[in-house]
Amino acid sequence: MILALESSCDETAVALFDPAHGLAGEWVQSQIALHERHGGVVPDLATREHLQAFAPLLARARTAADFSRVEKIAVTNGPGLAGCLAIGVAAAKALALALRVPLAGVSHLRAHAWSPFIPRHAEAPAEFAARLDELLPHLGLIVSGGHTLLFSLRAGGSIATLASTRDDAAGEALDKGAKLLGLGYPGGPLIEKLAAGGRVDAFDFPRGMGRRDELDFSFSGLKTSLRYLLEKMPAKEVEARRADVCASYQQAAVDALVRKTAAALERGPGAGPGWRSLGLSGGVANNRVLRAALEKTARGHGLPLLAALPQHTGDNAGMIAFAAWADTAGTDTRGLDLRIEPGLALA
Ligand code: KG4
Ligand code: ZN
């Protein structure tokens, strides 16, 4: 079994993964309540919380499984907040020493990239490698509070970044929009809830498309256009039309994500066979409007949509444990010399 630790941002998490069966247990301690009143993650507070949270989470993991079965420790070593990463890496080194097993550093972004494959492995663990080949090359979309990325995953596990955001991440655009509307943090789920009762065509927000042949995303114009709209609108009207504003704003973000993804699908993976699957992961992947739109896009291209399970969209250790096993090309093998890499890129 692999025992994995994650602490790159505001979730402390521990998971146990058995390659022959799947995830054997997952434990997450979220800090959302702590950071809510600050309107975003405060790095120093997050670091202290991780220090407090790991021991009880590990104690729970130990009641669920015999640690003598642990053959490897995996830990997120980047990207993320430096202090937060350091707590996880220090704890992982101590565990590797105590249990006398190897230590693997896992890229948080590569783990998000692999997370949509977790259910495929769970369905048929012994056949995972053979079936994986039938899903590659894979086009993946990672959408979170810090990242918006399109990438290709090919046979042999090589990952290439095809597009990223020039400014805000998709989740950041939703969080900032919610802040402008006085809704609270994190804004994505709050906007989705209000949007359900509104009209998507009530307001015309920019889709941040840039040039047609460019795949990169841009979300700062969306947020700015909401600010201008709210400045012009009397407070009473903002109150009365909140659902319409949320629905239109969310739709603009979803449209931008879907159109660039569709453009990448149409462009193809380059030489060799065409795309064989589309993936969706990261916190914003929880959004039902986005999921439905990408389902439709994938279907239109005759591809399966692999979406991360709800417990693996936000930050979690299940995906770290899984990546430590599935992503052999991406793990960091420096062992006890492992360093934190706060600015680590996807590829
Ligand atoms: O992956 P994640 O938990 O943390 C990062 O690594 O960033 O993603 C958090 C982001 C936040 O921006 C949050 O607003 C967004 O995911 N989010 C959503 C939904 N649930 C979370 N955005 C839209 N709709 C949702 N249902
Ligand atoms: Zn993340």
Q: 286 C-alpha to center of ligand 1: Å?
A: 7
Stated pTM of the model:
0.97
- Residue 206: asked if its preceding bond is cis (omega within 30°), the reply is no
Return the closest-CA partner of residue 220 out of 151, 148, 139, 315: 148
Q: 241 C-alpha to center of ligand 2: Å?
A: 32
Same topology, domains 2-129+311-337 and 136-303? Answer is: yes
Where exactly are the structural domains of the chain?
A: 2-129+311-337, 136-303
At 271 the pLDDT is 87
CA distance 175 to 161: 24
Q: Which residues surround ligand 2, an ion (CB under 5 A)?
A: 144, 315
Q: Which ligand has the nearest atom to the CA of 194?
A: 1
Does the C-beta of 186 come closer than 6 Å to ligand 1? yes
Pocket test for ligand 1, best of 144, 219, 289 (most atoms within 8 A of CB): 144
pLDDT bucket at 208, cuts 50 / 70 / 90:
confident
Mean pLDDT of the chain: 96
**Tens digit of pLDDT for each residue in 246-291?**
999 999 999 999 999 999 999 999 988 999 999 999 999 999 999 9
Work out the burial of residue 48: count CB atoms within 10 Å of its CB; fewer than 13 is exposed, 13-18 middle, 19 or more buried. middle
Q: 284 C-alpha to center of ligand 1: Å?
A: 4
Ligand 1 atom nearest the C-alpha of 171 is: 12
- The residue whose two tokens read 């509307």 is 181
Q: Express as a percent the part of the chain with pLDDT over 90.
A: 94
Which CATH number is associated with domain 2-129+311-337?
A: 3.30.420.40
Q: What is the mean pLDDT of residues 141-146?
A: 96
Please say if the pLDDT value at position 40 is more than 90.
Answer: no
pLDDT bucket at 212, cuts 50 / 70 / 90:
low
Q: 8 C-alpha to center of ligand 2: Å?
A: 8
Q: What is the mean pLDDT of residues 158-168?
A: 96
Which CATH number is associated with domain 136-303?
A: 3.30.420.40
Closest residue (by CA) to atom 16 of ligand 1? Answer: 283
Ligand 1 atom nearest the C-alpha of 313 is: 1
Please say if the pLDDT value at position 209 is more than 80.
Answer: no
Closest residue (by CA) to atom 3 of ligand 1? Answer: 314
Q: 204 C-alpha to center of ligand 1: Å?
A: 23
At 227 the pLDDT is 98
Q: 112 C-alpha to center of ligand 2: Å?
A: 7
Side chain identity, residue 96 = A
**Tens digit of pLDDT for each residue in 305-323?**
999 999 999 999 999 999 9
**Tens digit of pLDDT for each residue in 51-86?**
999 999 999 999 999 999 999 999 999 999 999 999
Q: 116 C-alpha to center of ligand 1: Å?
A: 16
Does the C-beta of 206 come closer than 6 Å to ligand 1? no
Task: Please state whether beta strands 159-163 and 148-153 pair in parallel, antiparallel, or not at all (unpaired).
Answer: antiparallel
DSSP string, 236-248: HHHHHTHHHHHHH
- The residue whose two tokens read 């998507």 is 200
Pocket test for ligand 1, best of 85, 168, 286 (most atoms within 8 A of CB): 286
CA distances from 177 to 147, 187, 203, 227, 317 (A): 17, 7, 14, 8, 29
Please say if the pLDDT value at position 211 is more than 90.
Answer: no
